[in-house]
Amino acid sequence: MLNQLKNLGLSENEAKVYFAMLELGPATALEISAKAGVNRPTTYVQIESLKKMGLASTQTRGKKQLFIAESPEHLESMIERQRGELEQKKEELHKLLPELTNIFNLSDSKPQVRFFEGKEGILKIQSEFLKTKSDFIYGISDFDSVMELFPDFSSDYSSKRAQKRIPSKLIYTSSKGPFLSGDDKEFLRESKYVSKDKLSLGSDITIFGDKIAVMALKGKISGVVIEHKEMADSFRSVFELLWNSLGR
C-alpha cells in the first residue's frame, strides 16, 4: 500500500503518516508518530505537507489538537492538480525552448571534451570510431602497446571496422618493424611504418570525423575525446603532412 501511495506522488514519510491517519481516525501527533514509525518532529512536517495537498485537516477537542486524514478521494484531486502543474510547466518549456536551443547551438563552437578511464574506457572510445561517418579514420599508433592491451585487436576492432566499410590510414611504430601490409585490402587499411627511434609515442592519436581521441595505453590507462571541427581538421592536416613525408 505504501508503495502505491508513493507512486501517486507522496514521499515515503508522507505515505506512512497518511496511512497511519487513515487507520487511526482523529488522533494526536504522538499517536500518529507511533503508528507510522516516524519521529514526532518529522510527523508534524508531514502532516503540514498533507494539509497543503488537501489530504489532512486539524480538529480541536478540549485542549487537544487532533489530526484527521481526508478521504482518499482527495488523492484524485491531488493528481489532477499535478497534471495541471505539469501542463503549465510544458507550456513554459515550449516558450523557453527556442532560446535554450539557440544557446545550445552557440556552444557548438566550444570544444566538447570527454574523459574515459581503464581498458573499458578505451573500448568505449573504439566503439565510437565504428560510428563515424567520415571518409577515413586516421591513426598514429604505438602498435606494441595496442597489442599488449588488446591481443585480438586485428581480428576484433579492425575486422568490425572493415565490415562497416570504414577505411583507415595508419602511421605506426613497432618493435617488430614494418610487419603490416602497406595496403591491406582485407582490413581496408593503408599503413606506413616509422621506427621507434624516429617517433617515440607515449599515447595513441586517432582522428575521426570532427573528433580527436588521445589514448594512453600504458601506466594509468585512460583516454580523452575532443569534439571540435577546426581542431580535428588541423590534426588531419598534420597527419597528412607526416604521411606524405614518409613516402611509400
The model's confidence at residue 106, banded by pLDDT at 50, 70 and 90, is low
Indicate whether 108 pLDDT > 60: no
- pLDDT in the model for residue 109: 63
Domain ranges of the chain: 2-72, 75-108, 113-245
- Maximum Cα interatomic distance, the chain, rounded to a whole number of Å: 101
Closest CA to 195 of 164, 170, 174, 217: 174
Calculate what percentage of the chain has a pLDDT beyond 70: 96
Closest CA to 114 of 126, 130, 125: 125
How do residues 142-201 score in pLDDT, each as one tens digit? 988 988 888 876 668 888 899 999 999 999 999 889 988 888 888 899 999 999 888 888
**Could you check whether 2-72 and 113-245 share the same CATH topology?**
no
Per-chain mean pLDDT for the chain: 88
How do residues 48-58 score in pLDDT, each as one tens digit? 998 988 889 99
Provide the CATH number for the domain formed by 113-245 in this structure. 3.30.870.10
C-alpha 173/C-alpha 37 separation (Å) is 68
Evaluate if pTM is beyond 0.75. no
Quick one: cell of 105?
547551438
Topology of domain 2-72, CATH: Arc Repressor Mutant, subunit A (1.10.10)
Closest CA to 168 of 205, 195, 203: 205
C-alpha 176/C-alpha 60 separation (Å) is 91
Quick one: cell of 39?
519521529
